[in-house]
Structure 1
């Protein structure tokens, strides 16, 4: 699915309509002003313009990096896959957040802007639905289709709020704006999420044209919503339908790509693995249409030899890198021994870029070098990662760089937008749900409500793609593998406990750095144990960052309700989450 970027006059009209009709920044407090009359936006063109504005909210609204769809901070940093990176002084408001010491009084308004942006998306969806209800131009089929798109998007925004804040305000298009400010944050979010996804599934076609959501995106999202509620049997039914029948909006049957790296290549956007994604665009007059939310997440100080030149954020953790260690037979170390000194990856931590370094020679899952930039390994088509020269502060953030959603040297100025303060904003689709994610969610549902053999089949489908040696990272100008890659499929899942461990670890390896990990740990009920182990390990290496940090069960599973919202609406209406 794409976010339209207002490239034509008619789409620009849609953007203008949204600008005049959307609610104020503080959605719970101030009524919208300067609204156009219903008749002006209830035309077919007006409704489509409003809907385009709703799609655009997937990419964020107010320009705060927590609004981005990739959740690199809340999903990956809080999930232990990465740390903030850079140094202690840069974006200092993230320092307490990554230590699980977030405050409702957020000096950078990160949580407040995330809250505001998702409710802005909901308000835009509701405007579309009201305009459809008031329209005399639309036939029944078009009205149902457009409403299906708006409701799927609204369900997405509510789902995002639910997984971040848990206790949220819930309303639909029938609630008057004056009454919204009186609603407490204890609404039944799952009810409206499921209702929206069901409506979208029932009313959207399988093929809905480029840039539009379709019924299969709704079905996959419904399965995910069921899984988050531990409704495993219902989730299994939805995933069964998606796996057997699902197609992209342009009619491609869902499938795993042969080449893992092509999932994150702008030249291969809208591929068969994409279930629901957000499209980027370049040279539109605003880098807001590119992957602006990743502008900090390039290796540091790369010069012309690397992408971006800034800023060294989002550095993969030691724990995440070690997780790609395999046995000699090519299976993961599910017992956690990958962090043991005998198994931990050799890295250049503390070694100057001009000093000799011996690369790790042990067996590794080949996905590591599609996910993590590490010294001596080709960094896409740039150069071999030089180590410390591309790291702002190793003692603070470790030796690794991010590698997913980074643009290639050959794509600079064609698939990047260099019109702002860094050399290139990548313009590749960010995937909210992809087919490998669906298979692994389906495997979870099979373990709890179906068949261990079916779960094994799904996990092995994902591992078989990773085992395609044709697409492993090679040395430059050579067919030689860049590292000792060893991976194999599981021969069996002997029991449900082993199967759960295997599926959960496979999600960690396959979906690393894509913003899912923290929310997975919370829904599995293991966040405190896993993340405190992570903190204990990382603090032995990055003591100044993580020493004394801890995850508090019953509190840190959810973000604080922004104090700014409570102050404006009233503590008698909005209540703070436990522990804050």
Structure 2
């Protein structure tokens, strides 16, 4: 991939519609296949087409059911469900123990450099980088663009390039850097790229507009939030604090609407309410677009629907017992920060759907039932989850189903896509949403020991969770789940804000903030990267392996090795590509 980094992504141009008049006879008078003259590229239309191509690479897919460079689309999914959530203890791989076995070693931290999933992810991000670099080069050569237009195109491309490199950095740490000026594409990976990532986001922040005419294009506040997130990962807390404060108090989405939390938590995972006031940066998806594929309908998550259900396929990405238990609340409505697994949520592991099961009657955070599909609770408007009947293999995957990636039955004709062998969904893929920003800002406050140590930001998130407008309610008629809901909550939802002064010190504040991120952002691909950068991965995963490993076979005996497993190995295929037969320009990560 690295040796081919400067190849032009012609498919991006075609997909973007840069070749005009496809219905005319002139369309038959084509240049050599696989090549376009620079005159067609170095124009305003060509630059915008390349830019659209750089955006389209965000989902890691080059076409129907294929990741860039080959492999299944789930190997390069934009939400990092394998690398961030399965590896982080949010979810089991799911399905059966023998299906997609490459995920097993990732979940158990026995992964090595030969794992093809890692190579797919690497290639997908570098494809995105290639496209961004092509935008920047073409902008410089375009004679029909004003300087302002060129700057706007470059600012978007540099934001996207910052994102792709951030994704690589948090996964592999040591990665080679190439930009639009690179001519020798055999580059080492021993130089820290954080300054380069910062530079891209700084340029984007300084030059992007607040409002974009087209949905999905990034604005200056998305760049500010991502730059602040970069500072947070680098532990530059003072810089992050100032920027997060600006984003929270002044920031707007690309439509010009001030950032805020939606009243209903699930509005962030419903295609009918996407691109709302909580959206900071999201990957756009579309269903039923006339192409009869699901290449734009989040096929990175196409495996992650209940098995033997109305969706047909495929039973992957099943929430863990440890995650579900985290949503237990005490008599006051606060979470059990340390011993949540001592207050487990009742589940139907090992119980047939035809056998009796008693629902949990204890206090719960309602975000549980928007995140975890569990027996007896409405699964959106598809009916009460039947339990084992929708699970392919409970013994290796547990009793739960993923929920945030699923579309509603009432709108499946609009937002669901069934043109392939597995479902697609038009909902956006959230990379950064405002709740995430609030919790990152809270973390910075706690690290600096300033103000109320982030209490107000955490409480803002918890206040939304406590809002009855965001509860899950029972059906008016369980036999007709699309017929509406009652005013009776589906479980005993009890959530409260932390009382004033609760964050009595940095240690307690950080524990509460870390836990709130686990709850709020569950199954969204963040968890592994969070616990790794916090330095608590071994402790957190040991708790998960102990609880789930007792009854679910996929992680029985699994273990995390500190100072090694915080990052994934550099794909061996990439090391080999950069080798002269004796040595490689790419150095393997420690421990692999």
Q: TM-score, normalised by structure 2?
A: 0.90
Correspondence list, 1:59-458, <5 A? 59-62=59-62, 63=67, 64-106=73-115, 109-176=116-183, 179-181=184-186, 183-210=187-214, 211-284=216-289, 285=291, 286-303=293-310, 308-335=311-338, 337-340=339-342, 343-422=343-422, 424-449=423-448, 451-453=450-452, 455-458=454-457
Shift of the 9–125 alpha-carbon distance from structure 1 to 2, 3 Å rule, reads: closer
Q: Deviations over 1:227-285 (max 9, x none)?
A: 00111110011101101111111111111000101111100111000000011112231
Shift of the 122–7 alpha-carbon distance from structure 1 to 2, 3 Å rule, reads: closer
What's the secondary structure of 1:377's corresponding residue? coil
Cα deviation for residue 533 of structure 1 reads 2.1
Cα deviation for residue 103 of structure 1 reads 1.5
Shift of the 464–15 alpha-carbon distance from structure 1 to 2, 3 Å rule, reads: farther
Cα deviation for residue 501 of structure 1 reads 0.6
Cα deviation for residue 34 of structure 1 reads 4.8
Cα deviation for residue 105 of structure 1 reads 1.0
Among residues 485, 488, 504, which one is paired with 2:493 in the alignment?
Answer: 485
Residue 544 of structure 2: aligned partner: 534
Among residues 559, 568, 574, which one is paired with 2:586 in the alignment?
Answer: 574
Residue 504 of structure 1: aligned partner: 514
What's the secondary structure of 1:412's corresponding residue? helix
Report the Cα distance in structure 1 between the residues aligned to 2:90 and 2:416, rounded to whole angstroms.
26
Cα deviation for residue 79 of structure 1 reads 0.4
Report the Cα distance in structure 2 between the residues aligned to 1:396 and 1:320, rounded to whole angstroms.
16
Report the Cα distance in structure 2 between the residues aligned to 1:92 and 1:439, rounded to whole angstroms.
37
Report the Cα distance in structure 1 between the residues aligned to 2:459 and 2:590, rounded to whole angstroms.
40
Q: Say if 2:505 is the partner of 1:495.
A: yes
Residue 22 of structure 1: aligned partner: none
Shift of the 119–15 alpha-carbon distance from structure 1 to 2, 3 Å rule, reads: farther
Asked if 1 retains the 8 angstrom alpha-carbon contact of 2:263 and 2:469, the reply is no
Asked if 2 retains the 8 angstrom alpha-carbon contact of 1:321 and 1:368, the reply is yes
Q: Deviations over 1:357-385 (max 9, x none)?
A: 01111111111001100000000011000
Asked if 1 retains the 8 angstrom alpha-carbon contact of 2:285 and 2:297, the reply is yes
- Using the TM superposition, name which of 135-144 and 157-166 deviates more: 135-144
Residue 20 of structure 1: aligned partner: none
Shift of the 274–463 alpha-carbon distance from structure 1 to 2, 3 Å rule, reads: same
Report the Cα distance in structure 2 between the residues aligned to 1:313 and 1:496, rounded to whole angstroms.
38
Shift of the 130–14 alpha-carbon distance from structure 1 to 2, 3 Å rule, reads: farther
Report the Cα distance in structure 2 between the residues aligned to 1:117 and 1:141, rounded to whole angstroms.
30
Shift of the 8–419 alpha-carbon distance from structure 1 to 2, 3 Å rule, reads: farther
Q: How many residues align?
A: 545
Q: Deviations over 1:23-57 (max 9, x none)?
A: xxxxxxxxxx9543433211000000000000000
**Once superposed, what is the RMSD of the aligned Cα atoms?**
1.8
Q: Deviations over 1:470-524 (max 9, x none)?
A: 3211111121111111110001311111100111100000000000000000111
Shift of the 452–14 alpha-carbon distance from structure 1 to 2, 3 Å rule, reads: farther
Shift of the 81–455 alpha-carbon distance from structure 1 to 2, 3 Å rule, reads: same
Report the Cα distance in structure 2 between the residues aligned to 1:10 and 1:574, rounded to whole angstroms.
33
Cα deviation for residue 188 of structure 1 reads 2.5
Cα deviation for residue 535 of structure 1 reads 1.1
Report the Cα distance in structure 1 between the residues aligned to 2:89 and 2:15, rounded to whole angstroms.
44
What's the secondary structure of 1:244's corresponding residue? helix
Report the Cα distance in structure 2 between the residues aligned to 1:572 and 1:313, rounded to whole angstroms.
36
Q: TM-score, normalised by structure 1?
A: 0.91
Cα deviation for residue 80 of structure 1 reads 0.3
Shift of the 8–138 alpha-carbon distance from structure 1 to 2, 3 Å rule, reads: closer
Report the Cα distance in structure 1 between the residues aligned to 2:295 and 2:411, rounded to whole angstroms.
19
What's the secondary structure of 1:87's corresponding residue? coil
Report the Cα distance in structure 1 between the residues aligned to 2:586 and 2:15, rounded to whole angstroms.
40
Report the Cα distance in structure 1 between the residues aligned to 2:15 and 2:118, rounded to whole angstroms.
34
Asked if 2 retains the 8 angstrom alpha-carbon contact of 1:324 and 1:509, the reply is yes
What's the secondary structure of 2:492's corresponding residue? coil
- Using the TM superposition, name which of 34-43 and 187-196 deviates more: 34-43
Report the Cα distance in structure 1 between the residues aligned to 2:387 and 2:193, rounded to whole angstroms.
46
Cα deviation for residue 169 of structure 1 reads 0.4
Shift of the 203–482 alpha-carbon distance from structure 1 to 2, 3 Å rule, reads: same
Report the Cα distance in structure 1 between the residues aligned to 2:56 and 2:19, rounded to whole angstroms.
11
Cα deviation for residue 96 of structure 1 reads 1.5
Report the Cα distance in structure 1 between the residues aligned to 2:200 and 2:369, rounded to whole angstroms.
39
Cα deviation for residue 92 of structure 1 reads 1.5
